[in-house]
Structure 1
Amino acid sequence: DQGFDEWNGIPRSSDRAFWPDSNSFTPGSHPDAVFTHVMSSFRGQEPKELEVYDRAKRATIDREITDQAIDFIKRKASTKQPFFAYLPYTQTHEPVDPHPDFNGKTGNGSFADVLAQTDAYVGELLDTIDKLGLKENTIFIFTSDNGREGVPRSFGFTGPWRGSMFSPYEGSLRVPFLIRWPGKIPTKHVSNELFHQIDLFPTLASFIGADIPKDRIIDGVDQSDFLMGKSEKSARESLVIYIGNELFGVKWRNWKLLIKELDEDGHGVKNLAYPKVFNLLVDPKEEVPEFNYLSDTWVDFPLYQVLEDHEASIESDLGTPDP
């Protein structure tokens, strides 16, 4: 129970779709090495196992969860009650298998087909909101959880930014974030200010007038004034950088401090005896840390303050209260 009224999807990573079609899969090798199934559940009920998640199902699942989301929105709209729909598409994670309707559509390979497919599905969601007359009263967000995958066979492009998923570099940390709320959030406004996904919780709570719990530390900040155009500046000046449970560094404004890095030849974690500091305005590719740092060592103070404040907040955090 994660707080949703109903749920459809897969319980684990999409790469498990390879297994049923692999001629080297070994049944019985381990109790947990079993085929993944698409699952469905409603609040208070045991999840049901549906079809095996193989390559054929991999190609159609994003179509299916789009249809289910549209059905959910229509049902909730008919009750005249507020609703929250969360739709995390499985693409573009491996295997990149477009729906038959989009397979070969772009002429530029499966990854391009899947991008066109996702664009079309998001368009259907927007059209549904508009046709139901909910456009003016619905907050619609499109974003991602990380940059492109980091394995050699993966696709995607991070522009000038270094790195990929599972790295502490900008190619991992920077993602698109688009938000629509007509009449409340200005249209066609573009910003490069710092914004963290953990800010969504207090921001959405502020939008709808909900109270934030006071019995725990909330790391997110309310960005409602920034998004609504009341402030040109983000409410956030800094963030911390983690991979798993490892603290790799911090960002403050356009500066970045790394106390750890990844081994260039693998995924080993390297502790840095001499931390690296990057000025991301003049070195967005994170290529020459010392070159732009030596004349600005004053930046150590705000950067290390972010690190110290974060570690202090962990020490003072009592942990998640019992549900």
Structure 2
Amino acid sequence: MDRIVQKMLIYGMVMAAVVEMPVLTQAAERIPNVVFILADNVGYGDMGPYGGGELRGAPTPRTDQLAREGLRLTQFLVEPACTPSRAALMTGQYSIRNGLSLVVIEGSPYTLPGRAVTMGELFKNAGYATAAFGKWHLGGAPHSLPTAHGFDEFYGIPPDISWDSATYVDTIELTHSIPAPRQALLARGPQIVEATAGGPLKHIKPFTQEVRADIDNELVAKSIDFMKRHTDAKKPFFLYLPFSMGHIPNLASGQFKGKSRIGNYGDKLMEGDFHVGQIMDTLKELGVENNTILVFASDNGPSGEAFREFGNNGTPDMGSPGPFRGELGEVTEGSIRTFCFIRWPGHVKPGTTSYAMFSIMDFFPTFAAIIGARVPADRPIDGVDQTDVLLGKSDAGHREHLLSFIGADLVAARWKQWRMYFTDIHPTGQGPQRQPGIFSTSAPLAGYPILYNIEMDPHEDLTAGTFGWVTGPLFKTVQEYLESVKKYPNPPSPNITQFRSETR
């Protein structure tokens, strides 16, 4: 009898341990908060850890600290412009799969489809509180708003235009194009807006150049309040902070005006660096620093010659692509390679650098894997899970290739260190009429693509036609994409220069 009792006691103790194990494991491995800060058109050569910062006349001490505390990606690849990159980030798909492979502009019909599944929905369905503060730029239709795609809160500029819309009323007055008093123009012009999940946009105040100069202070203050509220509520949070640092017109707030040695652009770099530090300090003060993935990246390479005239006092309002060529709107290496830092204490090794090819699309499946969320199975997901890169388990990562689109056209492809162009990317016009960047032309090539080796020739000056064997892997990548389109056809591609009256 004693033996039976003894066995029963041992059995009970074992079963109790088994029952408790998942609870203990769950407590020890809480799902992390995620904060994603997205700069706007900041180049590879602008930030301190990439050779910019102090050497660019605009020190970035807090970003330097972030690099020391986390992972620096040196092959972080994006899409050629603001809307395409943001669509790719939010959906884990090439922008063309959602009809957003050109910049959304006011009045055009292109907008994020209602059936798109965004990162907001990914986190919301996993039990997170979600917020987006800043620039959405994926369209203003009701079904395209962040609050229609998983975000509990949104505050920022109109979701179908960008930061330069702060100049609209001033340029209307300058040109006398719309005869109306200033107050009437302000009432009809771009507005700061806000919304909550499922609700309409509410106008808060006119978006003027004065508001533009102070907007990032507002966005960061709202971000801090959001993080505090949900830390107090013991609820995991996903904060998406696409602020204005880097985008023309770079108008710094009073605290940073004149701080850099290179004018408005440098002032805004220093201000953005300060705001990143505010987010870092808040996470520490709230005691959630060790359980938060913090990402700081840029959506594109820099604005260049196309927008330099937004600068004041003779200083160009433009960034640096570092050793590469190109600027916002092109598909050259300097346009689609930019900076990215990832910090996750206890998981991401501090002070590390990865040369793994990492696309902005890869965050979608990577975050899904980390938080245990499901990636949609009814559509192609072009991003790949790069958790092994974050955790230091893989040097090369799980990506070898990337395609680049402009409008309906597949214009370039990357495979490892090789870049191939299917169109001739070149500035239009001559002399003062030269139009680079987003206004450049992509003319079809007559016969053969152009090939470069980015490691041998970072500036893409010398064609690599003698390496003919490279075309095989590149064309295989293209063919795989074309096969996926047969199964999952793309929506109509954006085109804002050709209009047809016939119905289809």
Q: TM-score, normalized by length of structure 2?
A: 0.60
Contact 2:324 2:334 in 1 (8 A): yes
The verdict on how the C-alpha distance between 1:283 and 1:34 changes in structure 2, with shifts beyond 3 A counting, is: farther
Task: Name the amino acid aligned to 1:270.
Answer: A
Stretches of structure 2 lacking an aligned partner (at least 5 in a row):
1-147, 309-316, 429-434, 492-504
- Structure 1: distance between partners of 2:298 and 2:216: 15
Residue in 2 aligned with 1:278?
452
Matched, 1:238 2:390: no
Task: Report the Cα offset of residue 34 of structure 1.
Answer: 4.7
- Structure 2: distance between partners of 1:177 and 1:91: 14
Task: Report the Cα offset of residue 293 of structure 1.
Answer: 2.9
Task: Name the amino acid aligned to 2:465.
Answer: Y
Q: Secondary structure at the match of 1:285?
A: coil
Matched, 1:97 2:270: no
Contact 2:302 2:328 in 1 (8 A): yes
The verdict on how the C-alpha distance between 1:137 and 1:25 changes in structure 2, with shifts beyond 3 A counting, is: farther
Contact 2:425 2:442 in 1 (8 A): yes
Contact 2:248 2:307 in 1 (8 A): no
From 280, 289, 295, the equivalent of 1:126 is 280
Task: Name the amino acid aligned to 1:248.
Answer: V
Task: Report the Cα offset of residue 175 of structure 1.
Answer: 1.1
Task: Name the amino acid aligned to 1:123.
Answer: G
Contact 1:160 1:285 in 2 (8 A): yes
The verdict on how the C-alpha distance between 1:83 and 1:252 changes in structure 2, with shifts beyond 3 A counting, is: same
From 17, 21, 24, the equivalent of 2:175 is 24
- 210-219 vs 166-175, greater mean Cα deviation: 210-219
Matched, 1:300 2:471: yes
- Structure 2: distance between partners of 1:237 and 1:109: 39
Number of residue pairs matched by the alignment: 315
- Structure 1: distance between partners of 2:489 and 2:318: 41
RMSD (Å) for aligned C-alpha atoms: 1.9
The verdict on how the C-alpha distance between 1:25 and 1:226 changes in structure 2, with shifts beyond 3 A counting, is: farther
From 343, 363, 373, the equivalent of 1:180 is 343
Matched, 1:8 2:8: no
Kindly name which structure, 1 or 2, has the bigger radius of gyration based on alpha carbons. Answer: 2
- 280-289 vs 257-266, greater mean Cα deviation: 257-266
Contact 1:279 1:293 in 2 (8 A): no
Task: Report the Cα offset of residue 233 of structure 1.
Answer: 1.2
- Structure 2: distance between partners of 1:27 and 1:91: 30
- Structure 2: distance between partners of 1:190 and 1:21: 44
**Alignment deviations for residues 193-249 of structure 1 (CA, whole Å, 9 cap, x no partner):** 211011101000111111222122111110001211011111000010112332102
- Structure 1: distance between partners of 2:275 and 2:189: 27
The verdict on how the C-alpha distance between 1:25 and 1:63 changes in structure 2, with shifts beyond 3 A counting, is: farther
Task: Report the Cα offset of residue 259 of structure 1.
Answer: 0.3
Greater helix percent: which structure?
Answer: 2
**Alignment deviations for residues 71-119 of structure 1 (CA, whole Å, 9 cap, x no partner):** 0110111110111000001232111100011111224311111111000
Residue in 2 aligned with 1:117?
271
- Structure 2: distance between partners of 1:233 and 1:106: 37
- Structure 2: distance between partners of 1:85 and 1:121: 14
Matched, 1:145 2:303: no
Task: Report the Cα offset of residue 286 of structure 1.
Answer: 0.6
- Structure 2: distance between partners of 1:47 and 1:14: 18
- Structure 1: distance between partners of 2:477 and 2:489: 20
From 196, 214, 230, the equivalent of 1:76 is 230
Task: Name the amino acid aligned to 2:398.
Answer: A
From 196, 200, 218, the equivalent of 1:64 is 218
Residue in 2 aligned with 1:227?
390
Matched, 1:269 2:429: no
- Structure 1: distance between partners of 2:425 and 2:452: 16
Q: Secondary structure at the match of 1:157?
A: coil
The verdict on how the C-alpha distance between 1:313 and 1:159 changes in structure 2, with shifts beyond 3 A counting, is: same
- 67-76 vs 241-250, greater mean Cα deviation: 241-250
Task: Name the amino acid aligned to 1:293.
Answer: G
- Structure 2: distance between partners of 1:6 and 1:301: 47
Q: Secondary structure at the match of 2:361?
A: helix
- Structure 1: distance between partners of 2:321 and 2:262: 18
Contact 2:362 2:384 in 1 (8 A): yes
Residue in 2 aligned with 1:159?
322
- Structure 2: distance between partners of 1:90 and 1:25: 28
Q: Secondary structure at the match of 1:95?
A: coil
Structure 1 vs Structure 2: percent identity of aligned residues?
37
Stretches of structure 1 lacking an aligned partner (at least 5 in a row):
none
**Alignment deviations for residues 166-217 of structure 1 (CA, whole Å, 9 cap, x no partner):** 1110111101110000111111111222110111010001111112221221
**Alignment deviations for residues 6-31 of structure 1 (CA, whole Å, 9 cap, x no partner):** 010001211111122232252279x9
